[in-house]
Amino acid sequence: MPTGKASCRKRRALYQLYHLGWDQHGNLPNDIRTLAKSSDQASAALVKDLKQRGLLDDTLVIWGGEFGRTSFSQGKLTPENYGRDHHPRCFSIWMAGGGIKSGLTYGQTDDFSYNIVRDGVHVHDFQATLLHLMGINHEQLTFKHQGRRYRLTDVHGKVVKDILA
């Protein structure tokens, strides 16, 4: 048994889950319902279970895809082919627990999901916020590469305080 000053250290773990098959190129209206149902129910069950067990306050759940989507389609527009065009500038995720306000929608795109019209969050701001939620100051976290020290948030990044509980 260790002696001396007691240490109060929270255990942290990172888990990443994948759901393959989201990059739809056809039959979107039908297939997206099936995919959404399988992930929506599982995601809701995860958050509900964490909350029931009293673990949601200390667990940050982040749900995101590989990039944003527009309401435009690629190729000929038909009832079976719409709303799947890739868009790297407008990206949506949801988060739960871990110090995030619940029931909040933050940010907005235009009606075409093409431009950010309110409260955009740059990737550096998102990373600064995640590090803050983990108790890490993003301005002090550096790594060395080819003899130079870098920050994950580069010379940018601000914590998005409006989404914090």
pLDDT digits (tens, 9 = 90+) for 4-41: 343 444 555 567 777 777 766 667 777 778 888 888 88
93-140 tens-digit pLDDT: 999 999 999 999 999 988 877 889 999 999 899 999 999 999 999 999
Please indicate whether residue 62 or residue 15 has the higher confidence score (pLDDT). 62
pTM reported for the whole predicted model = 0.80
pLDDT band at 164 (very low <50, low <70, confident <90, very high): very high
* Residue 163 to residues 57, 92, 96, 99, 135, Cα–Cα distance (Å): 14, 14, 11, 9, 16
Task: Give the angle subtended at the CA of 56 by the CAs of 51 and 58, to the nearest 5°.
Answer: 155
pLDDT at residue 12 in the model? 55
Q: Quote the CA–CA distance of 69 and 24 in Å, as a whole number.
A: 11
